[in-house]
Structures are given as C-alpha cells and as structure tokens.
Amino acid sequence: MRCLRLFCLVIPIVPLFMTLGCGESGPPKAVVSGKIHNAGKPLEVKQMVGHLGLRFMDASGKDRVPYDAVIAPDGTFKVNGNTGTGIVAGKYKISIRWSDDGPVGADKLKGKFSEQTTKIIRDVPSPTPIDIDVSKPEG
C-alpha cells in the first residue's frame, strides 16, 4: 500500500520535471526590422509582376542558410528567420534584387548589391532599425 501511495505521488510530478529546461537553446536570436529606400523614397515595385528581394547572409560564411526579408510597400521590412524567432546574432551581408519582371527579370540595381558584390554589412541585433539606402555604396 505504501508503494502504491508513493507511486501515485511521483507519477503526476514526472511530466513537470520533463518540461523543465526545455525550450529554445543555442545562440541568441533577434527579429530584424528596418527600411529600404532610394534617397528617402520607397523603391516602387510593379504590382503583380514586380519583385524586391532583400536577403541576409552570414558574413562569416559559417551559416550557409540565407534569410529573406518580408518587405512592405513603404519599404519597411522584417526578417523573422526560419522559425519566426529571428536570426542568430552576428554580422550579415545584405543583398538586394529589384526587378519589374519578377525575380528572374533584369535587376534595376544592375547587380550592385548582388550576393557576390554587395558591400552592405550590418550587425544583428541592431540597436536601431536597419536603414538601407540604395543610393549609397554601403547601403
């Protein structure tokens, strides 16, 4: 009887201990926000066919997974990462592709900010929203 009483007390507590310590682990992450523009004016994208892509790539080359931004018509953007909890803290190269004919059309920025040529590098997390001005070489 004593054994049964102990069993009845311990079993309900076991799931509680199993959940302790569970959660996201690993390096710190941050959701990135900011604005992309051309000398203060939003980059106009043709409705239905236009494309504006903003991609964050680990500047160290360790993380091979790029993170794409979700861009609003006014140029504000967010990078939520693959799980919605942000991207790992660190330095990121940022590429930009702007086209009137979808992602495969001619780049209106003429490759100036492609994944291979971009000079835009920003820290994540940033103490303020990230400002990217395509009229400047470093954004």
Say how many Å lie between the first and final Cα of the chain, rounded: 74
Three-state DSSP state, 40: coil
Q: Could you tell me which of 94, 29, 30 has the C-alpha nearest to residue 59? A: 94
CATH code matching the domain that covers 28-133, chosen among 3.30.930.10, 2.60.120.200, 3.30.70.141, 2.60.40.1120: 2.60.40.1120
Which residue ranges of the chain lie beneath pLDDT 50?
Answer: 3-4, 6-10, 14-20
pLDDT of residue 100: 92
Domains of the chain by residue range? 28-133
pLDDT of residue 26: 84
Residue 4: φ, ψ to 5°: -65, -40
CA distances (Å), 79 to each of 8, 55, 90, 92, 104, in order? 48, 9, 14, 12, 22
